[in-house]
Amino acid sequence: MLLKLIIIKTGTAFVDTVERYGDFDEMVCRGLGLARDSIQVINAFQGEALPNPGDCSGVVITGAHCMVTDNLPWSLAIEQWIPSIIQEQVPLLGICYGHQLLGRAMGGLVDYHPRGKELGTVDVRLCPAACSDPLFTSLPDRFPAQVTHSQSVLSLPPGAVLLAENDFEPHQAFRIGGCAWGVQFHPEFNCDIMHDDIVQQTDELTRSGRDVEALLRNLQETRQATGILGVFAKLALARWHT
Supply the CATH number for residue 178's domain.
3.40.50.880
Query: Which of the 8 DSSP states describes residue 145?
Result: E
pLDDT value at residue 2: 60
- Tell me if the pTM is above 0.95: yes
Q: Is 53 helix (H, G, I), strand (E, B) or coil?
A: helix
In sequence order, the 6+-apart residues with CB closer than 8 A to the CB of 165 are 124, 125, 127, 171, 172
Q: Range of 31's domain?
A: 4-240
pLDDT tens digits along 84-125: 999 999 999 999 999 999 999 999 999 999 999 999 999 999
pLDDT value at residue 3: 76
pLDDT value at residue 68: 98
The DSSP secondary structure of 56-83, one letter per residue, reads EEEEEE---SS-GGG--HHHHHHHHHHH
Q: How many angstroms separate the CA atoms of 234 and 38, rounded?
A: 13
Number of domains in the chain: 1
pLDDT value at residue 242: 55
* Amino acid, single-letter form, for residue 130: A
Q: How many angstroms separate the CA atoms of 234 and 229, rounded?
A: 9
pLDDT-flagged residues of the chain (< 50): 1
Q: How many angstroms separate the CA atoms of 63 and 94, rounded?
A: 8
Q: How many angstroms separate the CA atoms of 239 and 41, rounded?
A: 19
Does the CA dihedral 193-182-76-235 come out positive or negative?
positive
Q: How many angstroms separate the CA atoms of 83 and 86, rounded?
A: 5
pLDDT value at residue 1: 46
Query: H-helix or E-strand containing 187?
Result: none
Active site residues: 96, 186, 188
pLDDT value at residue 238: 83
b/e string for 102-125 if b means 16 or more Cβ within 10 A? bbbbbebebbebeeebbbbbbebe
pLDDT value at residue 12: 97
